[in-house]
């Protein structure tokens, strides 16, 4: 969500519908990538990234319209909110920051209110800025007027011609002084006049002396051929202009699949991530096709800023050592998240964790659990939590968990780890090890997520309950509310405790006893 002048970190409201509509093969990819992504996120250092490009201030005027103006057949909009967010190259900087980078943003702006507001917004987000005030320019502002969910018009203002020599020289001097400080350079060139041929030449010289990871998203990639970028991200329209080929409305991937060599020669890039909207992206490495990654389904379509997110996520993935195809999957997921948001948006690291966790039943940390629950809560989902050993799953367990799920939308199960069960049940337990118990539980359709718990001195799920803040905490009828140490914590967090009746004569202990007293077992042992 956003307030005027402030970006508020929040889980995407649309992540779950995106995944629920996902084809089976994409869902399997999500599940397979989850563990790898979590490992990379946990081990990722905070790279230092410089972003250079055209700063745009995106302004949104929202309101309601119930009539037409008498002057002309156009709607009258009663404005109820006025929101400003950093756009253009500044949105790339925002995305990199929320994905975990230490970001410096360099640009040239006008000596005006819009430039000052953009700088203040970036500073609030922890981004170091080097903004050169140029008195011959006006900061670019794009203002959108929206009635309800309908965009009615957009009007633009600001200077889009190349910056004057004096301002260009200041930016080049800054690059020369700080080039060594960064792990990567991201150039977001919207062709608004900031990234001049002189600045590109300076970057070519600096990079030849001290090679850096350089990613370029530009309207005219041919201008960067001598820079030999590590990564470029053209879209379909840009690449067709570069290749001087006619555009098609469909089968774009097939049209361009064999064009990697030509694209590599024209851009000078080592890696090309060619985005094709609904057809996903083609990834080339040194002119050879590496993979074709599909686009994730989206529940609404707001592409403003999606390209900024894509190149930011791709760059961060490469800096973390991820393989190119996995980096493309990560970038596609990040783009899907922002396309489902309103306005110019960013993708946070936590949202990616949640995206790749939503269909993984087995959660391995409270941090992962927290992000998943944040998404469910943002969507208004009612979360039910229960816990137990589930040593030998029987019909009583299945009946209980089915009824527990009916108390809400999402059922999360805490399962005692092996050491915890030994402390609670004795040295002969558990009969089945944790991994086996989790896999059996995971086969139940009523269960959405499973997470293990238990540590010396505390075999209660209180830590999980504090992380989840469930709407409902449920236990079987062999417990009472007064006998549950967790109950008070649940109610402090606004949840309710519900005791469900158990199926008579169904328990793991009685099942083990029956096995030991079984005549068939005794004959077999004899």
List, by residue number, the catalytic residues.
308
Assess contact for 336 and 12: CB atoms under 8 A: no
* β partners of residue 56: 87, 140
Six-digit token string for 13: 């409201």
For residue 48, the tally of other CB atoms under 10 A from its CB is 16
Q: Which residues are annotated as a binding site?
A: 235-238
Let me know how many helices (H) and strands (E) the chain has, helices first: 20, 21
Phi-psi region of 50 (alpha: psi -120 to 50; beta: other; left: phi over 0): beta
Q: Is 517 helix (H, G, I), strand (E, B) or coil?
A: helix
Distance from C-alpha of 387 to C-alpha of 516, rounded to nearest angstrom: 27
Q: Which residues are annotated as a binding site for ATP?
A: 235-238
Q: Which residues contact 104 (CB under 8 A, 6 or more apart)?
A: 48, 49, 50, 51, 127, 128, 129, 130, 178, 181, 182
Structure letter (DSSP) for residue 455: B
Q: Is 132 helix (H, G, I), strand (E, B) or coil?
A: strand
* β partners of residue 49: 103, 184
Phi-psi region of 426 (alpha: psi -120 to 50; beta: other; left: phi over 0): left
DSSP conformation letters of 280-329:
-EEEEETTEEEEEEPPPP-SS---TTHHHHHHHHHHHHHHTT--HHHHHH
b/e per residue 300-331 (b: at least 16 CB within 10 A): eebebbbbbbbbbbbbbbbbbebebebbbbbb
Six-digit token string for 326: 């996995």
Q: Is 521 helix (H, G, I), strand (E, B) or coil?
A: helix
**448 closest CA partner among 385, 498, 393:** 385
To which residue do tokens 């030999």 refer?
Answer: 228
To which residue do tokens 């050592």 refer?
Answer: 321
Distance from C-alpha of 232 to C-alpha of 467, rounded to nearest angstrom: 40
Which sign, positive or negative, has the C-alpha torsion 8, 9, 13, 18? positive
Q: Which residues contact 203 (CB under 8 A, 6 or more apart)?
A: 175, 185, 187, 214, 227
Six-digit token string for 455: 């540590």
To the nearest 10 degrees (0 to 180), the angle between helices 306-319 and 324-339 is 150
């Amino acid at each position: 969500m956003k307030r005027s002048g402030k970006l508020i970190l929040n889980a995407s409201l649309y992540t779950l519908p995106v995944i629920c509509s996902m084809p089976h093969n994409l869902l399997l990819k999500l599940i397979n990538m989850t563990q790898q992504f979590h490992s990379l996120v946990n081990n990722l250092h905070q790279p230092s990234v410089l972003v250079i490009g055209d700063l745009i201030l995106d302004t949104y005027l929202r309101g309601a319209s119930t009539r037409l103006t008498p002057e002309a057949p156009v709607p009258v909009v009663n404005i109820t909110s006025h929101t400003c967010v950093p756009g253009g190259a500044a949105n790339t900087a925002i995305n990199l920051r929320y994905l975990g980078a230490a970001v410096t943003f360099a640009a040239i702006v006008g000596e005006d209110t819009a430039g000052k507001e953009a700088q203040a917004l970036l500073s609030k987000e922890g981004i170091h800025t080097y903004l050169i005030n140029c008195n011959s320019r006006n900061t670019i502002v794009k203002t959108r007027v929206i009635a309800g969910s309908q965009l009615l018009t957009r009007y633009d203002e600001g200077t889009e011609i190349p910056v004057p020599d004096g301002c260009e020289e200041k930016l080049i001097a800054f690059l020369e002084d700080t080039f060594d400080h960064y792990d990567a350079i991201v150039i977001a060139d919207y062709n608004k006049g900031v990234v001049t041929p002189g600045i590109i030449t300076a970057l070519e010289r600096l990079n030849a002396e001290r090679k850096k990871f350089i990613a370029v998203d530009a309207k005219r990639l041919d201008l960067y051929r001598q820079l030999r970028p590590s990564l470029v991200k053209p879209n379909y329209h840009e690449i067709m202009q570069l290749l001087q080929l006619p555009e098609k409305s469909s089968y774009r991937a097939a049209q361009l699949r064999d064009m990697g060599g030509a694209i590599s020669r024209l851009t000078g890039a080592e890696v090309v991530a060619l985005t094709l909207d609904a057809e996903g992206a083609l990834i080339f490495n040194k002119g050879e096709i590496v993979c074709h990654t599909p686009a994730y389904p989206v529940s609404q379509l707001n592409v403003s800023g999606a390209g900024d997110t894509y190149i930011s996520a791709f760059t961060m993935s490469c800096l973390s050592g991820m393989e190119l195809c996995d980096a493309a999957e990560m970038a596609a997921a990040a783009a899907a998240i922002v396309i489902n948001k309103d306005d110019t948006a960013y993708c946070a690291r936590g949202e990616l964790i949640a995206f790749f966790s939503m269909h993984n039943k087995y959660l391995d940390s409270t941090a992962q659990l927290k992000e998943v629950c944040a998404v469910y809560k943002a969507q208004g989902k009612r979360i039910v939590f229960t816990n137990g050993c589930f040593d030998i799953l029987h019909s009583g367990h299945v009946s209980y968990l089915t009824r527990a799920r009916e108390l809400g939308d999402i059922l999360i199960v805490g399962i005692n780890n092996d050491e915890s069960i030994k402390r609670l049940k004795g040295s002969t337990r558990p009969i089945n090890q944790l991994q086996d118990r989790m896999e059996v539980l995971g086969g139940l359709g009523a269960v959405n997520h499973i997470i293990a718990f238990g540590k010396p001195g505390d075999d209660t799920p209180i830590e999980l309950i504090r992380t989840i803040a469930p709407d409902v905490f449920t236990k079987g009828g062999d417990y009472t509310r007064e006998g549950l140490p967790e109950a008070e914590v649940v109610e402090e967090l606004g949840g309710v405790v519900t005791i469900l009746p158990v199926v008579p004569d169904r328990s793991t202990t009685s099942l083990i006893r029956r096995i030991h007293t079984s005549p068939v077992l005794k004959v077999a042992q004899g």
